[in-house]
Structure 1
Amino acid sequence: MPNSRRPWDLPERLATPEQLVFNRRALLVGGASALALMSGPAIAQRVGDVDKLADPSARLYPAKRNETYKLDRPITDENINTHYNNFYEYGTSKDVATASEKLQTRPWTVKIDGMVEKPFEIGVDDLMKKMTLEERTYRHRCVEAWSMAIAWTGFPLKKLVDFARPLGSAKFVRMETFLDAKMAPGQRMSWFPWPYIEGLTMAEATNDLAFIATGAYGHPLAKVQGAPLRLAVPWKYGFKSIKSIVRFSFVDKQPLGMWQQIQGSEYGFWANVNPAVPHPRWSQATEEVIGTGERRPTLLFNGYGEYVAGIYKGLENERLWA
């Protein structure tokens, strides 16, 4: 019988002892009264302590910023980012922040399989302990012709590839999100081919820019941003940003992503940004910087050509853009 255990299922041996649960509940209930008597800094400290109980990774933030990756615009306000965001598992509107609170991010198991020396599973917090977290500021460009700049925390995807020890015959990384229609009501929409799938070539996955985000704005990822693990590839259109990843598979055939399955005539595998190649239904020549109302000229590869253009040499006959 196939293994039906979900990434958030917790073995009984790892369950928190009952007395600790009730002790923590008493702390939280009693803490509400005590907060009223505290100063501002003391309140912040207490709230921070509770956050660390809820998310073991909270102590890893903020991480040191990698200054290699510079922005040409201010970082988008966090409140704007978390309320203008696609997460179809929780609905088709841009504001699914409230709906996405149903997402349960602990425990969370990541599966590494396919063409690797030895398939394995690892808890997300154990995975983060094996990676050195850093902050990077990236621009992002959506195929809908809007853009943002975000301060992510995480680690290069290349480090995960190295950790996975893929075979030399592996050509692509296939990424998969969770599947649980009880936890994610959007997955009850049967016309979408769940679970959400995306893929990268090994050359793309091991490029310096390809990044696995575990946090943003100096703290762990908000659920609406795709906690606890999401992809950030700043030279591609926004639909190349899988959220809440539970599986990395190394394969020798090009993965068929969700948007390719839904509307392959409009959304291709590569999805690189190019202002000169319009989407079938609108221009890509300019973009709106969300939160400012400003329109800017769109840049080839979203301005990251010096890092990634070399990946695509010899692929001129491929459909490299949206």
Structure 2
Amino acid sequence: MKFRSNIKENNVTDEKIFINRRRILKGLGLFTASSVASGIAISRAQSWFEQQPKMPSNLHAPTSLKFFNSTIYSPNLELTPENKVTGYNNFYEFGWDKADPARLSQNFKSDPWKVEIDGEINQAMTLDLDDIFNKFDLEERIYRFRCVEAWSMVIPWIGFPLSALLKMVDPTNNAKYVAFQTLYDPEQFPNQGKKFSGNFSFPYIEGLRIDEAMHPLTFVAVGLYGNKLLPQNGAPIRLVVPWKYGFKSIKSIVNIRLTENEPPTTWNISAPNEYGFYANVNPNVSHPRWSQASERIIGSEGLFGAKRQDTLLFNGYPEVAELYKNMNLHKYY
């Protein structure tokens, strides 16, 4: 079956902007995913970050990948400039500011690397990078990326469907969810070694329902823009779930565990009134502190700031709607 998106060519985001997120605000004893209380403030804060000096281009030499171009997931899109996607990131393990991941990941080593897959499966396994690059046919997919902070990009990811990996490990009938964990290494991730108030803690954890994980759109990315992932983008392996807010697309994965019960997730633990388990992009459900009805297009900056566009339900991927049939999307946000 072919899956089509509603992305237009002029909606793809620049690479530098993908790499930085606002500093997390201490409020009432816990951290939240944004330090801005309104859409106007968000726009101004992000515009400020985008105007900062460019990061050095030689922090990590690009490593090209062999892949095929998907005929299904390659809409005619104008890609976001690469320097935006690699320079504007949310990766709190490195720091709270948008430029921190690129600036503080210069010595990050993503090779050697191992990913353990365990839990409710019949074939537990551990994959190293050779396994990851040799066992799966890599393809390029152009996906819309939507941050919960109401900004968006369009990115050409390289990777393979998560379902291909899950089929290899043969889930049991008890496998109802898939849990993910980011590497915990305070020497490589400087922010992991710091103490924070409230419920925010590392390592970063995320999860999907099994049918979400098996959906053809759910993608394991190992590269973008033709090259292997840089550390700030989640090297060497990350998740991409294009119809959900970006914080669901966990980076630098070291463990994938299939479980019978819904797994805890970092932002839901930290601020459950703001970040639900599902985190589907929905213009009709506002964040408690700002609207999700529209989004800033990163990489479209002009005299009066970045262009805005209406947010699409499920981020423009209506083919996933069947996963949530008869669910109250206001309750299960």
Q: Shorter-chain TM-score: what band? A: 0.7 to 0.9
For the 8 Å contact 1:270–1:319, the answer to whether it is kept is no
In structure 1, the residue corresponding to 2:248 is in which secondary structure?
A: coil
Please report how far the alpha carbon of residue 202 of structure 1 lies from its aligned counterpart in structure 2 after TM superposition: 0.6
State whether residues 285 and 330 of structure 2, in contact with CA within 8 Å, keep that contact through their aligned partners in structure 1. no
Higher RCO (CA < 8 A, seq sep 6+): 2
> What SS does the corresponding residue of 1:205 show, helix, strand or coil?
helix
Residue 80 of structure 2 is aligned to residue 68 of structure 1 = no
Aligned with 1:140 (options 130, 137, 145): 145
1:294 equivalent in structure 2? 307
- Provide closer, same or farther for how the CA distance between residues 317 and 212 of structure 1 changes in structure 2, counting only shifts above 3 A: closer
- Offset at 1:314? 2.9
User: 1:304-319 alignment to 2 at 5 Å?
Assistant: 304-305=317-318, 307-316=319-328, 319=331
Matches within 5 A, 1:2-151: 58=63, 61-71=65-75, 73-95=77-99, 96-151=101-156
1:199 is paired with a residue whose SS is strand
Q: Distance in 1 between matches of 2:107 and 2:222?
A: 18
Question: Is the aligned partner of 1:247 residue 2:247?
Answer: no
| 1: CA distance, partners of 2:162 / 2:330 | 24
CA distance in 1, matches of 2:88, 2:124: 37
* 2:161–2:217 Cα contact (<8 Å) kept: yes
Superposed CA deviations along residues 91-144 of structure 1, whole A, max 9, x for unmatched, are 001112021223210110110111111322121221221111000000011110
8 Å contact from structure 1 (residues 170, 252) kept in 2 = yes
User: Shift in Å at residue 207 of structure 1?
Assistant: 0.4
Ranges of 4+ aligned residues in structure 1 off by more than 2 Å: 69-73, 189-192, 314-321
Partners of 2:112 and 2:104 lie apart in 1 by: 20
Give the conservation status (yes or no) of the 8 Å contact 1:113–1:250: yes
Aligned to 1:262: 270
Gaps of 5+ in 1: 1-46, 53-57
Residue identity opposite 1:160 in structure 2: L
Tell me: CA distance 1:152–1:132, structure 2 relative to 1, closer, same or farther (3 Å).
Answer: same
Post-superposition offset of 1:71:
4.4
Q: Which amino acid aligns with 1:85?
A: N
Secondary structure at the counterpart of residue 88 of structure 1: coil
Q: Distance in 1 between matches of 2:252 and 2:86?
A: 15
Deviation at 1:318, TM superposition (A): 7.0
Task: State the alpha-carbon separation in 2 of the partners of residues 70 and 297 from structure 1.
Answer: 22
Structure 2 residue runs of 5 or longer lacking an equivalent are 1-57, 301-305
In the alignment, structure 1 residue 200 sits paired with structure 2 residue 222: no
Distance in 2 (alpha carbons) for counterparts of 1:176 and 1:319: 26
RMSD between superposed Cα atoms in Å: 1.9
Q: Which has the higher helix share?
A: 1
Moved more, 161-170 or 212-221: 161-170
- Counterpart of 1:234 in structure 2 is 242
- Per the TM alignment, residue 65 of structure 1 is displaced from its structure 2 partner at its CA by 1.3
Residue 321 of structure 2 aligns to a residue whose secondary structure is helix
Offset at 1:72? 7.0
Tell me, in whole angstroms, the C-alpha distance in 1 between the residues paired with 2:61 and 2:67: 17
Q: Which amino acid aligns with 1:299?
A: L
Give the letter aligned to residue 308 of structure 2: R
The aligned counterpart of 2:192 is 187
